[in-house]
Structure 1
C-alpha cells in the first residue's frame, strides 16, 4: 500500500522540543534522517557504472536537498531567515537546536530542574487520582522532550509512594496480586480511579440519606407545631426614624425647618413674644398654691354631701323592701 505522509509540522518559535520530535519522525518516514545526522556526501561513481548505480547515486545526492527542503518547509518565514544561509540539513538542524533548546550545559540545567520538580510532586487534597497522574506525566514528558530516557516504571513508583493514606488499602491489595515492577501505569491509575469513584458514590448516598432524614424530621415538627409561626419567619423590622437636614433654628435633625418650635415668625400665646410656641415657653405662669387649696376644699365640701345622699338612698331602699 502506498503511504502519503502529511505536510511537515511548522515551527513558529514556540515548543521547539515537541516540533523536533515530530520533525524527526517526518524525516524518518521519508528516509532522510540519516542525511541530517551524518551530513556526508555519497561516494563518487566508479568507472563504467551501470544504469542502476547511476540511478542510486542520483537518489543519494538528492536526499540532501530533500531533507533541506523538508526543514525549510517546516518552519515559518521568520525562522526560515535564520537557516536560509545553511548549506546542509545538519547545519540547519543544529542551528535551530542551539538557538531554541540551548547548549548542552543549558539542557543539563533544565533537566536538573525538571527532576527536582518531579521529586517534589505530591497529591493535593482537592485533586483526583487522574488529575494527579496528569501532573506527573506532564513533568515526565517534559524530561523526555529534553532527550533523557524516562521509563514508566519511575512514574508508577512515584504514584505509589506519594498517594495519601486513603489509597493504602487498594495499594496493599495490588501488591498481593500484582508485581509493581511490571504493572502498567494505565492499569494502576484505572484501579485507583475505580476505588475513588466507589468511595465518592458511598459518600453521596450517605449525604442523601441524611438529608432525607432531616427533611422528614423537619416536616413532622411543622405538623405537630400547629398555630405556631415557623422558625424561618423573619421578625418585623422596627421602623427607622427618618433624619432631616439640621434645622437652621434649633440645629436638630428630627423635623423640617417649617415645623420648628423656635421659628422667628411664630408668636407665643402665653407671653405674646415671637421666636417660640407656648409649649416651650419659659415665661408661662405656673398654677398658684392658693388655687390648689381652694380646689381641694371644694372637693372636701362635695364629698360629705355625696355620703349623705348615698345613706338616704340606702335607707329608703330598705323601707321599700320591708313593705313588700
Structure 2
C-alpha cells in the first residue's frame, strides 16, 4: 500500500475542491479504497458447498475471520484506513458531527449531506444566491470599476 505525504485538510468553504482531492488521495492509497467509500467495508466471501442452487452458481457466504488470508485481512482493513484518513482531515467541530459514523462510507455520506445537502437544500441555496444577485445594488459611493 502506498503512503503519500499530504492529506487535503477539510474546508467547508472549499468543500468541492476538498472532495475531488480526497477522492484522488483515497484512490491512490489502494485500488479498492474508493470502493470502500462508495460501497462500504469489504466482506470476504466463499462458496457455500452445502447449498445447492438451481442456476448452477454457488451461494456465497461470509468467510470466518480464522480462514482469512493475509490479503483478505488487508482488504478488510481498508475501511479502518479510510476512516483514519478522513478523521485526520477534519477539525474538531466537524469531527464531532461524524464521530458516531461506523464506516468510511457513512462518514463520506454524512460530510456530503452536511456540505451539499439534499436536492431540496441545493435548490434553496441556488434560489437564495439568485435572489441576492438580483437584489444587488450599487452604493452611491461605488463606481462601476
Q: TM-score range by the shorter chain?
A: 0.5 to 0.7
Indicate the residue corresponding to 2:102 in structure 1.
Answer: 87
On the 8 A contact 1:12/1:79 being kept in 2, the answer is no
- Which structure has the highest strand share of the two? 2
Alignment partners' CA distance in 2, 1:28 and 1:3: 10
Say if 2:37 is the partner of 1:22.
no
1:27-46 residue pairs with structure 2 within 5 A?
27-31=26-30, 32-43=33-44, 44-45=62-63
1:130-165: CA deviation from partner (whole Å, max 9, x where unpaired): xxxxxxxxxxxxxxxxxxxxxxxxxxxxxxxxxxxx
User: Which string of whole-angstrom CA distances, capped at 9 and with x for unpartnered residues, describes residues 6-37 of structure 1?
Assistant: 22111143211111111111001012111010
How do residues 243-258 of structure 1 correspond to structure 2 at under 5 angstroms?
Answer: none
Cα deviation, 1:212-265, whole Å, max 9, x if unaligned, reads xxxxxxxxxxxxxxxxxxxxxxxxxxxxxxxxxxxxxxxxxxxxxxxxxxxxxx
TM score, norm. by length of structure 2: 0.64
The aligned counterpart of 1:257 is none
Aligned to 1:57: 72
Q: TM-score, normalised by structure 1?
A: 0.31
Tell me the residue number matched to 2:7.
Answer: 8
For 1:179-209, what per-residue CA distance to the aligned partner results, in whole angstroms no more than 9, with x for missing partners?
xxxxxxxxxxxxxxxxxxxxxxxxxxxxxxx
2:141 is matched with none
The unaligned stretches of length 5 or more in structure 2 are 45-61, 134-143
Does the CA contact (< 8 Å) of 2:40 and 2:103 recur in 1? yes
- Deviation track 1:104-127 (CA, whole Å, cap 9, x = no partner) reads 23335667879xx9xxxxxxxx9x
Contact 2:41 2:79 in 1 (8 A): no
- The structure with the largest alpha-carbon Rg is 1
Q: Residues of 2 paired with 1:88 and 1:4: CA distance?
A: 21
Please tell me the root mean square deviation across aligned C-alpha atoms, in Å.
3.0
Alignment of 1:116-131 (within 5 A): none
In the aligned structure 2, how far is the partner of 1:22 from the partner of 1:111? 24
1:47-73 superposed Cα distances (whole Å, 9 cap, x missing partner): x95xxx611110111001001101101
Structure with more helix by fraction: 1
